[in-house]
Structure 1
Amino acid sequence: MSLLKMKRKMQANRPAFRRFLTKLEKNPPKKLDNMAVEIDKVVWGETDCLACANCCKTMTPTFTNTDIKRISAHLEMTEDAFKKKWLKKDRAGDWINTKQPCQFLNLKDNKCSIYEVRPKDCSGFPHHTRRHMVDYMHVFKQNIEYCPATFRLVERMMEKVNGGEGETKA
């Protein structure tokens, strides 16, 4: 599914997706985490992040102090120089990118120039198989709009939990 098609489908079905995720959050089915792991494997068999990179183009990771130390050393910069050049603090006081798309994304091939030392937030994205999925439902509610893999995962979970009922509009 193309990113444009996913966005259109998401817009048409936003209320249904939100209701479903809220329902899961309030009353999770037994073995929800196992279901997410199972569906996640299928979803990643169909998803090519390098064909998309929407997360890097439209979102920013939070940079932990450990991330800043590791990345600045890799770039042979001081931590202060790295922060001054690339980062700012958000309302919550977290370090985030100053601009989008991410400064480390090569737009020609969608590859990350610091992939080996990328922020923990990036390496774990989109956080599908975190244990106790219910604790990360707020993340799914956000990422479903940006990540085709998350969109597909939630769409398939809806089909499985609802037994085919309440499927999304095309």
Structure 2
Amino acid sequence: MITPTNPKAVNLRQFKKKVEDNKRKLRRFLTKLESQRPAGLDKMTVEIEKETWEKIDCLTCANCCKKMSPTFTTKDITRISAHLGMTPGAFKEKWLFFDKKDKDWMNVKQPCQFLDLKTNMCSIYEVRPADCAGFPHLSKKKAIDYLHVHKQNIEYCPATYSMVERMKERFQTSSK
């Protein structure tokens, strides 16, 4: 039984298959929402986010840490390097690279160097990058501004995928 205190473990093999089967449809749906800008989207995403976390356990997944890299702001680098007892320069040299195209500091390797692969827990959780702390950005004050983020994240994050699937179901039901 799935309850808020007992969310379902993520099966990454099944998730990958669902993404292969539905990614294009869900991305088209999000593009349609961007152009239509439906009323009530913010309220809906808050409701759906709550339902999503009742069903998904991130610690059984950690796909974001395995397949993606956060961007590290100057504040992140300063905070994390101090936590690790390093200078910001030494931290960047050891763990990061500068993406010239996007002008972002990113992890030099995947999975993330701070992910414990046995527990799927972050070894710097208390001081993790702001990008990680906000991920997967499910409900924000202006949900319309995050639909492009969801388009990317549905491929990596079962919670995002689930939320977008639920949004699509609700809009289809309300348009009947």
Task: Classify the TM-score, shorter chain.
Answer: over 0.9
Find the counterpart in structure 2 of residue 121 from structure 1. 131
CA distance in 2, matches of 1:111, 1:164: 39
Task: State how far apart, in whole Å, the 1-side matches of 2:49 and 2:84 are.
Answer: 33
Residue 39 (structure 2) pairs with residue 33 (structure 1): no
Q: Secondary structure at the match of 1:163?
A: helix
- Identity within the alignment, %: 59
Tell me the equivalent position of 2:87.
78
Residue in 1 aligned with 2:154? Answer: 144
Distance 1:164 1:147 in 2: 26
Q: Which residues of 2 match residues 32-51 of structure 1 at below 5 A?
A: 32-51=41-60
Q: Which residue of 1 aligns with 2:75?
A: 66
Letter in 2 for 1:29: P
Q: Which 4+ residue blocks in structure 1 deviate beyond 6 angstroms?
A: none
Amino acid at match of 1:66: K
Q: TM-score, normalised by structure 2?
A: 0.91
Does 1:108 find its partner at 2:121?
Answer: no
Aligned to 1:102, what secondary structure does the other structure show? coil
Query: Unaligned regions of 5+ residues in structure 1, if any?
Result: 166-170
Q: How far apart are residue 29 of structure 1 and its match?
A: 1.6
1:28 is displaced (CA, Å) by 2.1
Kindly provide the CA deviation profile for residues 49-78 of structure 1, in whole angstroms up to 9, marking residues without a partner as x: 110000000000000000000000000000
Paired letter, 2:69: T
State how far apart, in whole Å, the 2-side matches of 1:164 and 1:47 are. 25
> Matched residue of 1:20: which SS?
helix
Relative to 1, partners in 2 of residues 1:155 and 1:164: Cα closer, same or farther, differing over 3 Å? farther
Structure 1 residue matching 2:38: 3-state secondary structure: coil
User: What is the distance in 2 between the residues matched to 1:158 and 1:88?
Assistant: 37
**Match of residue 168 from structure 1:** none
TM score, norm. by length of structure 1: 0.94
Q: Which residue number corresponds to residue 5 of structure 2?
A: none
1:128 is aligned with what amino acid? Answer: L
Q: Does 1:135 align with 2:142?
A: no
Question: In structure 1, what is the equivalent of residue 105 of structure 2?
Answer: 95
Contact 2:23 2:154 in 1 (8 A): no
Q: Name the amino acid aligned to 1:146.
A: Y
CA distance in 2, matches of 1:14, 1:150: 12
Note the aligned Cα RMSD (angstroms). Answer: 1.2
